[in-house]
Homo-oligomer: A and B are copies of this chain.
Amino acid sequence: MSSAAEKNIPDESSPGSPNGGNHAKSKEDFDLASIYVSDAQYNRNIFFDTSPQAVRLYLRYNHWLPQVMLYVFILVDLSLALFEEPAVLHVPTWATMLVELLCLLVFTIRLVHYAKVIPRDKFWKDPKNICIIVILMLTLVDMIIYGALKATNCYAVRWSRVLRPLLLVNVTEGRQLRRAFRSIRNALPQIFYVFLLFMFSLLMFSLMALKLLGKRGLKTIDGSPYFFNYLDIVFDLYVLVTTANSPDVMMPAYNASFVFAIFFILYILINTYIFMSVFLAVVYNNYKKYLKEEVRQLVRAKRHKMVRAFAVLQEQREEGGEPVVTQANWNQVVRLVQPDISNAHRELLWSVSDDKNQGCIGKVAFVQLADLLNIEVITLKSRPHPLQSMCPALYLSAPSRLLCRLVQHRAFVIVYDLIILVNAVFIGLDEENPLIGNSEWVFLALYLLEIVLKLYVFEPRAFFSRHSFWNWFDTIIVVSALIATIINSAMTASGGYTSRQILDIVFILRVLRLIRVVDSIKRFRAIINTLIRIGPAILTFGQLIVVVYYIFAMVGMELFKGRVKFYGEDSSDPEKAYCGNILLKGTAFAQLNYCKNNFNNVVSSFILLVELTVVNQWHVLSSGFASVTHASARIFFVLFHIVVVIVIINIFVAFVLEAFFVEYSVEKSNLQTSLERKIEELELAVAQEKLEDNLVNAMETIDSDQGTGQSAHSKPTLMFKIASKRYRTVDALLQRMFEADLDPEDFAEHEEAQSGNFSNPTFSSV
């Protein structure tokens, strides 16, 4: 799953133009330099060939279209499980096989493309390539065997489906995911020792429970002997660690005597509270430690790449002087790296790099470029309101100005917050009352009025700018609600028929509208912004979970499919009471009506795995499946608990904790400060509410963000603002997380950069 070679970076000794002279740079040079810069910006560590042909191929390899296509095909490949036996939607086997072959073809093409980009020996040394090849081969073999067996009507298992999610890990773009897996793998030894000690404690307590409680002839609530069998006790006490069978497991002993409660309380204290905290501590500590090391190497590799880019672009201004990069070349590269960058933004970055206005920059300033590009700068063009241009007399008249002042007033927000609250109460009331049913139209009109008023006051393009999350949110919700409500009314009026689906959508939209209130309360906004900021990083965990879930779902489906049947609500089949399997008769599984929690298709499996992740009642579920197969089926569920709850959820919690601490403690980086200072120097800053903005810049609100059409004419027409706490990439967040620890090294690297001899970083230390 990991890859050693991936962590290597190019170290060819002669980049495209090894000259120190001043002759003009070729297009190839710019391509090469821009690739280095772009790789540094996005922390890609691909050891590509530097021949012009390979560079062109590499540019195409990094294009967004093939990357998106790759992920689409991985998604298609993964979602094939919906159509394969046991299927949600039945489709002939040849159809799924054909689609899978197509996917395999796409993956092969992508891999061949990759093989052409990097040197052959590097390609074969990289475990992730080997991994992909093996997965593709095994899948092909499995498909042939399966097809042959099916053709002869034999029993066949599509075992290679387990391998599919591993593609997600091993494609070039799965860097974050691979890093997460590496972190877990590195933390495993430590976790393992704590786990052993925990198991020892579990076995000791179980032995004591057997001796103390086994011989007393106690009965559980369903009349079976209590704590009689050692293995059952171990399972019961393991479940108690997850708290899922508390206090039921204790009740028979507790009913017999007060004293036995002490045993269970002691057990819970030691195993549930202490050991689970220790697990979190160990996972957190190791995760942090290894991640920090990886990020340190990332930073080193980034600098190295920037120095290579510099080597390609450098020229000697005066004899014997330091090599420099001219503004023209720099501009060319930046345009290549980020085609959508505005000229103004590029000029700004240049003026930060070229602090002394010399028209060229040295190595140290150039190396910053990757980080500078990663700082999100919001460009605001303040234009006059279109109505003002069209009809200045009317727009600038006294009533119009008064209206604008009213809408911008704090009271306007408060009034609408009150309207939302009233609306919430109305939604909660019974909508079959005609008064309340009709009130919906009033609220819709009020919300529409708000949007129209704001569009009148604020410049429309600024109102719908890319960063105005809440404006987009509001408008989309209100307009959709309007459309849905009209359709619903039309249907009701025409035939008296109400579509449940449309009504559901109307309800959801109505409730979603209420979320708006959160934005008006500053403290809430701050918390939500933090959550949204760490969102992309959490998505890595989403992928991690999908990989693990998919594997467990595939295995679970092979083990348990069809064992438990769901008969639907209206069925009067007598087998419904025990989920169609006589072995479940009288079990808690059947009594609690858990029949739909089964492995009969991939969707059910995923929902069941979510329930197992939430932990509660997992012993009922696992015992249910154990009773329809074999007692050892519990191992599957215990394994799932260990992998997902003890390891992955703890890593998730560790990540959220760490990210929150960073949010609470880290100030702006030096680079951001210097960029901001420059913006201020150039008097291009968004002057007002600047301090407030820094608090809320993840989701700009209209109130604090745009200059209004009216007041703008006194200000420069172009303004910048740093989205100080936003990270373009997950890596940027990670680097920020460990910035404090990286700084000393940072400086050392800078000195190295100045002295010009970058040592080839060694990545074998992990």
A204 on interface, CB distance cutoff 8 Å: yes
A247 on interface, CB distance cutoff 8 Å: yes
Option from B230, B524, B660 in Cβ contact (under 8 Å) with A428: B230
Residue ID in chain B nearest A526 by CB atoms:
B193
Using Cβ atoms and an 8 Å threshold, which residues of chain B touch A204? 511, 514-515
- Is A200 within 8 A of B518, CB to CB? yes
A221 on interface, CB distance cutoff 8 Å: yes
Chain A 542-581, CB-CB to B under 8 Å as 1, else 0, gives: 0000000000000000000000001011000000000000
Measured CB to CB, the closest approach of chain B to A705, in angstroms, equals: 22
Using Cβ atoms and an 8 Å threshold, which residues of chain B touch A428? 207, 210, 230
Using Cβ atoms and an 8 Å threshold, which residues of chain B touch A211? 427, 504, 507-508, 510-511
A248-256, A442-450, A459-467: which lies at the interface: A248-256
Option from B251, B517, B649, B653 in Cβ contact (under 8 Å) with A594: B251
Inter-chain CA distance A593–B254, complex, in Å, is 11
A636 on interface, CB distance cutoff 8 Å: no
Option from B254, B285, B531, B607 in Cβ contact (under 8 Å) with A607: B254
Option from B282, B617, B661 in Cβ contact (under 8 Å) with A246: B617
A197 on interface, CB distance cutoff 8 Å: yes
Inter-chain CA distance A524–B273, complex, in Å, is 18
Chain A 473-516, CB-CB to B under 8 Å as 1, else 0, gives: 00000000000000000000000000000001001101100110
What are 22 of the A-B contact pairs (CB < 8 Å)?
Answer: A197-B518, A197-B527, A197-B528, A207-B428, A208-B507, A221-B592, A230-B428, A243-B616, A246-B611, A246-B614, A246-B616, A247-B597, A248-B592, A251-B597, A254-B607, A256-B569, A268-B610, A273-B652, A277-B652, A278-B660, A280-B653, A284-B661
- Is A607 within 8 A of B244, CB to CB? no
A627 on interface, CB distance cutoff 8 Å: no
Give the contacts of A400-445 with B (CB-CB under 8 A): 424, 427-428
Inter-chain CA distance A715–B489, complex, in Å, is 98
Chain A 608-622, CB-CB to B under 8 Å as 1, else 0, gives: 001100111100000
- Is A212 within 8 A of B616, CB to CB? no
Chain A 216-237, CB-CB to B under 8 Å as 1, else 0, gives: 0000010000000010000000
Using Cβ atoms and an 8 Å threshold, which residues of chain B touch A67? none
Using Cβ atoms and an 8 Å threshold, which residues of chain B touch A508? 208, 211-212
Using Cβ atoms and an 8 Å threshold, which residues of chain B touch A208? 507-508, 511
A94 on interface, CB distance cutoff 8 Å: no
Measured CB to CB, the closest approach of chain B to A199, in angstroms, equals: 11
Using Cβ atoms and an 8 Å threshold, which residues of chain B touch A254? 596, 607
Asked if A615 meets B243 with Cβ closer than 8 Å, knowing A197-B524, A285-B664, the reply is yes
Measured CB to CB, the closest approach of chain B to A117, in angstroms, equals: 38
- Is B507 within 8 A of A617, CB to CB? no
A452 on interface, CB distance cutoff 8 Å: no
- Is A657 within 8 A of B277, CB to CB? yes
Using Cβ atoms and an 8 Å threshold, which residues of chain B touch A268? 610, 614
- Is B610 within 8 A of A265, CB to CB? yes
Using Cβ atoms and an 8 Å threshold, which residues of chain B touch A138? none
Measured CB to CB, the closest approach of chain B to A696, in angstroms, equals: 15
Measured CB to CB, the closest approach of chain B to A359, in angstroms, equals: 43
Using Cβ atoms and an 8 Å threshold, which residues of chain B touch A657? 277, 280-281, 284
A523 on interface, CB distance cutoff 8 Å: yes
Using Cβ atoms and an 8 Å threshold, which residues of chain B touch A607? 254, 258, 261, 265
Residue ID in chain B nearest A523 by CB atoms:
B193
Measured CB to CB, the closest approach of chain B to A502, in angstroms, equals: 13
A17 on interface, CB distance cutoff 8 Å: no
A68 on interface, CB distance cutoff 8 Å: no
Inter-chain CA distance A355–B603, complex, in Å, is 74
Interface residues of A (CB under 8 A from B): 193-194, 196-197, 200, 204, 207-208, 210-212, 221, 230, 243-248, 250-251, 254-256, 258, 261, 265, 268, 272-274, 277-278, 280-282, 284-285, 424, 427-428, 504, 507-508, 510-511, 514-515, 517-518, 523-524, 527-528, 531, 566, 568-569, 592-594, 596-597, 603, 607, 610-611, 614-617, 649, 652-653, 656-657, 660-661, 664
Inter-chain CA distance A48–B517, complex, in Å, is 54
- Is B531 within 8 A of A593, CB to CB? no
Option from B207, B255, B518 in Cβ contact (under 8 Å) with A596: B255
Inter-chain CA distance A504–B213, complex, in Å, is 9
Inter-chain CA distance A527–B277, complex, in Å, is 13
Using Cβ atoms and an 8 Å threshold, which residues of chain B touch A243? 614-616
Measured CB to CB, the closest approach of chain B to A188, in angstroms, equals: 14
Inter-chain CA distance A610–B266, complex, in Å, is 11
Sort A-B residue pairs by CB-CB distance and give the 5 closest, nearest first. A281-B660, A211-B507, A277-B656, A246-B616, A247-B611
Option from B194, B504, B661 in Cβ contact (under 8 Å) with A285: B661
Residue ID in chain B nearest A245 by CB atoms:
B616
Measured CB to CB, the closest approach of chain B to A579, in angstroms, equals: 12
- Is B212 within 8 A of A277, CB to CB? no
Measured CB to CB, the closest approach of chain B to A240, in angstroms, equals: 9
Measured CB to CB, the closest approach of chain B to A343, in angstroms, equals: 40
Residue ID in chain B nearest A273 by CB atoms:
B652
Inter-chain CA distance A251–B591, complex, in Å, is 12
Q: A248-B617, A277-B656 are in contact. List 15 more A-B contacts (CB 8 A).
A: A193-B524, A194-B527, A196-B524, A197-B524, A200-B524, A212-B504, A246-B617, A247-B597, A247-B617, A251-B596, A258-B603, A261-B607, A261-B610, A278-B656, A278-B660
Measured CB to CB, the closest approach of chain B to A327, in angstroms, equals: 43
- Is B207 within 8 A of A511, CB to CB? yes
Inter-chain CA distance A594–B255, complex, in Å, is 9
Option from B265, B273, B593, B615 in Cβ contact (under 8 Å) with A251: B593
- Is B281 within 8 A of A616, CB to CB? no
Using Cβ atoms and an 8 Å threshold, which residues of chain B touch A196? 524
Residue ID in chain B nearest A272 by CB atoms:
B614
Inter-chain CA distance A592–B205, complex, in Å, is 25
- Is A616 within 8 A of B614, CB to CB? no
Inter-chain CA distance A211–B423, complex, in Å, is 14
Inter-chain CA distance A211–B208, complex, in Å, is 51
Asked if A244 meets B527 with Cβ closer than 8 Å, knowing A251-B593, A274-B656, A607-B265, the reply is no
**Interface hub of A194, A274, A277, A282 (most chain B Cβ within 10 A):** A277
Option from B251, B277, B610 in Cβ contact (under 8 Å) with A653: B277
- Is B524 within 8 A of A244, CB to CB? no
Inter-chain CA distance A427–B203, complex, in Å, is 12
Inter-chain CA distance A261–B597, complex, in Å, is 11
Inter-chain CA distance A274–B659, complex, in Å, is 12
Residue ID in chain B nearest A247 by CB atoms:
B611
